[in-house]
């Protein structure tokens, strides 16, 4: 997500889906009050409690989600923008959504950047010859065919890089920056690490470095390198950039501290094609029974990096949206407004899909009641965070979301600490669309993020089903409730 205007978070107890255990959702004394000021708003329609329970019972028996995720990941695999795999995934999604009987299944064409990894390797030459484990960073340029052989200088932060000054010229700079330890709410300290991945090549090139290596963005490593996007921005010199494993980065730093000169050879064939490649956002709908022109978007991104299977990032999020729509249709739950699944393209290295959606539907964004993105993996369901642009809408929005949280579980609460939304839906934020981020336990998210280890077996089928239920229930309520989320005069529509 780009900019957070305001944020609230619904925290939902693990007991969410123990159907029998339902403290009164309408009883304000049963849940903690953390919001500073709440407008007096009418309760949600009483029938929602039974509807949420129907969804929970239905999904407890098992959904088609895990089968779909396995089919996507095992028969198509990873899905980098511009790749044949992503084109096949778009075709697969269209066919699957049509087979499930949804309405207005279609593709919106989007042109995307095509970066190709090519062959790549990293060998340590001194003080002992050995292969190191690496992944080129998305957007990187190639090395010359013979590679770049140079001394490595490891630095623990940006200040240490600046202290190198002229010593960095012609060297390979290694940013050996450990990722801060994760917690279940926020995941790991991804922003800190990702900053070095994105900016490192530009910073090192300013000192005349020949190439840059960055320590992988993870706190638990089994010598698995993590890729991800980098950017040269306005750098005068474009130098190759690659990630190395936590283990190899730490070894290089130890060798350097012990007085050894570390020399490596980096070879990369990476290139960005001059022409953009055709791709598409995939769309399907459950049309609203009363106000079909008002839209609740649910979605994730269909593209992934070119390693692993893109199961967690973001196959799981796409499946949650697809299957939530399927569950509602199977249960014959047709809300007032339309629920629209959007599977965005090119989130990982461009955000062209999210930008194209906001541009194509610019005139209709005022009719978007909410947008929910699932792009945090398949961990245990934790509810939603939210961002609302309009200050005047926030109090009513906060109070409404507290009510929704109350329906989802007895310990639903609201706090104002975390931002909400997701990268793909963020271009809708400036138009005032309330943006919700589907939240899960992220304790282990960054263990496999952007790696060869992001495979289907890492996703727990039962947790996937619970996430599908949570998304289906939330999307239904937001699409069906009498007034739209955050609507200042929502009482008018009761
Ligand atoms: Zn993602």
Domain extents for the chain?
Answer: 8-113+275-493, 115-272
User: What integer pLDDT is reported at residue 487 of this predicted model?
Assistant: 65
Q: Give mean pLDDT, residues 196-214.
A: 98
The yes-or-no verdict on residue 489 having pLDDT over 70 is no
Question: Ligand 1 center to residue 94 CA distance, Å?
Answer: 20
377: exposed, middle or buried (Cβ count in 10 Å: 0-12, 13-18, 19+):
buried
Question: Ligand 1 center to residue 346 CA distance, Å?
Answer: 10
User: What integer pLDDT is reported at residue 401 of this predicted model?
Assistant: 85
Residue 395: both structure tokens together: 């109090």
pTM of the predicted model as reported, rounded to 2 decimal places: 0.91
Contact of 370 with 432, CB cutoff 8 Å? no
Question: Ligand 1 center to residue 254 CA distance, Å?
Answer: 33
* pLDDT tens-place string over residues 9-49: 554 433 344 333 333 333 333 444 444 455 678 899 999 99
Question: Ligand 1 center to residue 377 CA distance, Å?
Answer: 8
User: What integer pLDDT is reported at residue 251 of this predicted model?
Assistant: 98
CA angle at 410 for the pair 405 and 411, rounded to the nearest 5° = 75
Is the four-CA dihedral 383, 387, 393, 394 of positive or negative sign? positive
The yes-or-no verdict on residue 340 having pLDDT over 90 is yes
Residue 228: both structure tokens together: 């991800």
Residue 179: both structure tokens together: 């990722």
- Do strands 291-301 and 337-344 pair parallel, antiparallel, or not at all (unpaired)? parallel
Higher pLDDT, 391 or 156: 156
* pLDDT tens-place string over residues 363-402: 999 999 999 999 999 999 888 888 888 888 878 887 888 8
The yes-or-no verdict on residue 215 having pLDDT over 70 is yes
The yes-or-no verdict on residue 171 having pLDDT over 90 is yes
Convert 107-142 to b/e letters by CB count within 10 Å (16 or more is b).
bbebbbbbbebeebbbbbeeeeeeebbbbbbbbbbb
User: What integer pLDDT is reported at residue 38 of this predicted model?
Assistant: 56
Q: Give mean pLDDT, residues 285-303.
A: 98
Residue 37: both structure tokens together: 């000021």
Residue 470: count other Cβ atoms within 10 Å of its Cβ. Answer: 29
Question: Ligand 1 center to residue 22 CA distance, Å?
Answer: 33
Is residue 111 among the annotated active site residues?
Answer: no
Taking the CA atoms of residue 443, residue 444, residue 447 and residue 452 in that order, the dihedral angle to the nearest 10 degrees is: -150
Listed residue (383, 413, 377) closest to 398, CA to CA: 413
Q: Give mean pLDDT, residues 462-479.
A: 95
Question: Ligand 1 center to residue 120 CA distance, Å?
Answer: 24
**Can you tell me the distance from the alpha carbon of 352 to that of 110, in angstroms, rounded to the nearest whole number?**
7
* pLDDT tens-place string over residues 97-145: 999 999 999 999 999 999 999 999 999 999 999 999 999 999 999 999 9
CA distances from 197 to 12, 135, 140, 359, 457 (A): 33, 12, 11, 29, 27
Q: Give mean pLDDT, residues 454-476.
A: 96
**Can you tell me the distance from the alpha carbon of 309 to that of 448, in angstroms, rounded to the nearest whole number?**
11
Dihedral pair phi/psi, residue 286, rounded to 5°: -115, 105
Band the pLDDT of 410: cuts 50, 70, 90.
very low
Contact of 262 with 338, CB cutoff 8 Å? no
Contact of 145 with 273, CB cutoff 8 Å? no
Question: From 3.50.50.60, 3.40.50.300, 3.50.30.30, 1.10.260.40, which CATH number describes the 115-272 domain?
Answer: 3.50.30.30
User: What integer pLDDT is reported at residue 184 of this predicted model?
Assistant: 59
Question: Ligand 1 center to residue 376 CA distance, Å?
Answer: 7
* pLDDT tens-place string over residues 420-459: 789 999 999 999 999 999 988 888 999 999 999 999 999 9
User: What integer pLDDT is reported at residue 105 of this predicted model?
Assistant: 98
Is the four-CA dihedral 312, 98, 50, 10 of positive or negative sign? positive
Band the pLDDT of 182: cuts 50, 70, 90.
low
The yes-or-no verdict on residue 53 having pLDDT over 80 is yes
Band the pLDDT of 185: cuts 50, 70, 90.
low
* pLDDT tens-place string over residues 475-486: 999 999 998 886
Q: Give mean pLDDT, residues 67-80.
A: 98
Residue whose entry in the numeric block shows the structure tokens 């964004």:
365
Of the candidates 347, 348, 402, 487, the residue annotated as catalytic is: 347
Q: What's domain 8-113+275-493's architecture?
A: 3-Layer(aba) Sandwich (3.40)
User: What integer pLDDT is reported at residue 420 of this predicted model?
Assistant: 73
The yes-or-no verdict on residue 168 having pLDDT over 50 is yes
Band the pLDDT of 7: cuts 50, 70, 90.
very low
Judged by average pLDDT, the poorest of 157-161, 259-263, 391-395, 455-459 is 391-395
Band the pLDDT of 188: cuts 50, 70, 90.
low
């Amino acid at each position: 997500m780009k900019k957070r205007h305001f944020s609230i978070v619904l925290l939902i107890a693990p007991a969410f889906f123990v159907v029998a255990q339902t403290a009164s959702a309408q009883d304000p004394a049963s849940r903690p009050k953390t919001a500073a000021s709440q407008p007096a708003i009418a309760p949600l329609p009483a029938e929602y409690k039974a509807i949420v329970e129907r969804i929970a019972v239905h999904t407890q028996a098992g959904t088609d989600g895990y089968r779909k995720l396995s089919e996507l990941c095992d028969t198509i695999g990873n899905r980098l923008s511009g790749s044949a795999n992503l084109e096949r995934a778009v075709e697969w999604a269209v066919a699957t959504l049509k087979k499930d009987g949804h309405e207005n299944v279609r593709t919106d064409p989007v042109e995307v950047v095509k970066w190709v990894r090519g062959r790549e390797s990293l060998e340590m030459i001194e003080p002992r010859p050995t292969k190191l484990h690496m992944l080129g960073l998305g957007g990187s340029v190639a090395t010359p065919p013979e590679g770049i052989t140079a001394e490595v200088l490891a630095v623990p932060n940006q200040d240490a890089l600046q202290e190198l000054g002229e010593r960095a010229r012609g060297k390979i700079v290694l940013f050996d920056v450990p990722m801060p330890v994760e917690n279940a709410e926020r995941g790991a300290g991804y922003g800190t690490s990702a900053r070095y991945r994105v900016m490192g090549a530009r910073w090192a090139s300013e000192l005349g470095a020949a190439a840059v290596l960055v320590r992988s963005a993870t706190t638990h490593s089994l010598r698995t390198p993590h890729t991800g996007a980098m950017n040269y921005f306005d750098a005068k010199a474009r130098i190759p950039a690659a990630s190395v494993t936590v283990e190899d980065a730490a070894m290089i730093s130890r060798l350097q501290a012990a007085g050894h000169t570390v020399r490596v050879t980096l070879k990369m064939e990476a290139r960005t094609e001059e022409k953009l490649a055709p791709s598409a956002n995939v769309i399907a709908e459950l049309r609203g029974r009363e106000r079909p022109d008002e839209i609740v978007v649910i979605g994730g991104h269909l593209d992934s990096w070119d390693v692993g299977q893109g199961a967690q990032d973001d196959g799981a999020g796409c499946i949650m949206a697809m299957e939530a729509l399927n569950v509602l249709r199977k249960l014959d739950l047709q809300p007032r407004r339309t629920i629209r699944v959007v599977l965005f393209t090119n989130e990982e290295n461009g955000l062209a899909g999210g930008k194209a959606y906001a541009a194509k539907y610019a005139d209709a964004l005022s009719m978007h009641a909410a947008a929910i993105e699932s792009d945090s993996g398949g961990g245990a369901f934790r509810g939603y965070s939210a961002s609302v642009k309009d200050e005047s809408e926030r109090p009513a929005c906060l109070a409404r979301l507290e009510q929704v949280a109350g329906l989802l579980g007895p310990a639903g609460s609201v706090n104002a600490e975390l931002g909400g939304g997701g990268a793909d839906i963020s271009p809708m934020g400036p138009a005032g669309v309330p943006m919700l981020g589907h939240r899960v336990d992220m304790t282990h998210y960054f263990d496999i993020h952007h790696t060869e280890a992001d495979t289907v077996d890492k996703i727990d089928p039962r947790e996937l089903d619970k996430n599908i239920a949570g998304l289906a229930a939330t999307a239904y309520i937001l699409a069906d409730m009498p007034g739209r989320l955050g609507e200042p005069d929502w009482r008018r529509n009761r």
